């Protein structure tokens, strides 16, 4: 698979309903996004929180792909779901909580689908690259490394977006490097400036959470852009790239 530069992945944190997903898919497509994201299996910190629609969510993603033609990015949490998710996903996301789940990495590598390997929230670059090595050793090399913020002493933002790694990884590796300012900041107002900063320091792409009504989102509403704000960001990005 070829990744246009900048490769912009946008969509809701979680697939919630047909209306929510189709509205978002159409809007991000019209705004110029390169791929649609949406979680069907969600890794939630609180077991009481919405866990995703599961297979029904995957079916809605397939419908959104038919509607827009956008490739689909969705997360896998469990080795038992890899085959099912590979039937629907064009790119498989390994979330920050799973990047050191080595059996999962090996299983996903077998699908030969491009893999987004998110940085674990307490992972050094060395550990991240060793996780990527598990995938390379399984004979697969379509890996997109995604910086999504790390946990530091700072609590004013959800995580600390470590943009240092962008030029560092570009210097040291051949991987495609993308940045997720949504999880990296946890705050919608900070997403556009940090998205632009990521591209300015050499990121090959972005992952951005977008929701038609962030206040009502079932997950990550505070960090999701509404549609007009995403459209504005895309125009600004297109002007400079
Ligand atoms: C997500 O992309 O919605 C997600 C859960 O991301 P992360 O693994 O970076 O927390
Ligand atoms: Mn999220």
Angle 99-134-171 from CA coordinates, rounded to 5°: 80
Asked if 163 contacts 199 with a C-beta cutoff of 8 angstroms, the reply is: no
Mean pLDDT of 1-18: 96
Residue 169 reports pLDDT greater than 90: yes
Whether omega before 6 lies within 30 degrees of 0, making that bond cis, reads: yes
Which residues have beta carbons under 5 A from ligand 2 (an ion)?
13, 220
- Give the number of the atom of ligand 1 that is nearest the alpha carbon of residue 180: 9
Pocket test for ligand 1, best of 39, 96, 185 (most atoms within 8 A of CB): 96
Coil/strand/helix, residue 58: helix
Q: Which ligand gives the minimal distance to the CA of 44?
A: 1
Please give the CATH topology (third level) of the domain spanning 7-240: TIM Barrel (3.20.20)
Residue 240: the pLDDT is: 83
CA 11 remoteness from chain centre: 9
Q: Which ligand gives the minimal distance to the CA of 224?
A: 2
pTM recorded for the entire structure:
0.98
Tell me: the pLDDT tens digits for 39-83? 999 999 999 999 999 999 999 999 999 999 999 999 999 999 999
Tell me: the pLDDT tens digits for 145-154? 999 999 999 9
pLDDT band at 15 (very low <50, low <70, confident <90, very high): very high
Residue 241 reports pLDDT greater than 90: no
Provide the H-helix boundaries in the chain.
18-30, 55-68, 82-88, 102-109, 125-137, 165-172, 181-185, 191-200, 227-240
- Give the number of the atom of ligand 1 that is nearest the alpha carbon of residue 96: 8
Mean pLDDT of 101-120: 98
Q: In sequence order, what are the beta bridge partners of 207?
A: 9
Q: Residue 98 C-alpha to ligand 1 middle, in angstroms?
A: 10
Residue 110 reports pLDDT greater than 90: yes
Q: Residue 235 C-alpha to ligand 2 middle, in angstroms?
A: 23
Please tell me the least confidently modeled range out of 1-5, 137-141, 144-148: 1-5
* Domain range annotation of the chain: 7-240
Q: Residue 231 C-alpha to ligand 1 middle, in angstroms?
A: 22
Pocket test for ligand 1, best of 76, 93, 224 (most atoms within 8 A of CB): 93
Residues flanking ligand 1, CB < 6 Å: 13, 39, 43, 95-97, 118, 148, 183
């Amino acid at each position: 698979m070829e990744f246009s530069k900048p490769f912009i992945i946008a969509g809701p944190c979680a697939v919630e309903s047909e209306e929510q997903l189709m509205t978002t898919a159409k809007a991000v497509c019209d705004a110029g996004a390169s791929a649609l994201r949406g979680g069907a299996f969600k890794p939630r910190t609180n077991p009481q929180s919405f866990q995703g629609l599961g297979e029904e969510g995957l079916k809605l993603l397939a419908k959104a792909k038919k509607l827009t033609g956008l490739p689909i990015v969705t997360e896998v949490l469990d080795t038992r779901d890899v085959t099912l998710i590979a039937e629907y996903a064009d790119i498989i996301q390994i979330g920050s909580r799973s990047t050191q789940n080595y059996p999962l990495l090996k299983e996903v590598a077998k699908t030969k689908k491009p893999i987004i390997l998110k940085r674990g929230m307490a992972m050094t670059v060395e550990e991240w690259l060793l996780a990527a090595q598990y995938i390379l050793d399984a004979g697969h090399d379509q890996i997109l490394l995604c910086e999504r913020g790390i946990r530091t002493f700072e609590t004013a933002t959800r995580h600390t977006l470590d943009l240092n790694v962008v030029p560092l990884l570009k210097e040291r590796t051949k991987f495609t490097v993308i940045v997720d300012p949504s999880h990296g900041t946890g705050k919608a107002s900070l997403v556009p400036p940090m998205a632009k900063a990521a591209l300015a320091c050499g990121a090959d792409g972005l992952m951005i959470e977008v929701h038609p009504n962030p206040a009502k989102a079932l997950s990550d509403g505070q960090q999701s852009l509404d549609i007009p704000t995403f459209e504005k960001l895309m125009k600004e990005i297109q002007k400079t790239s």
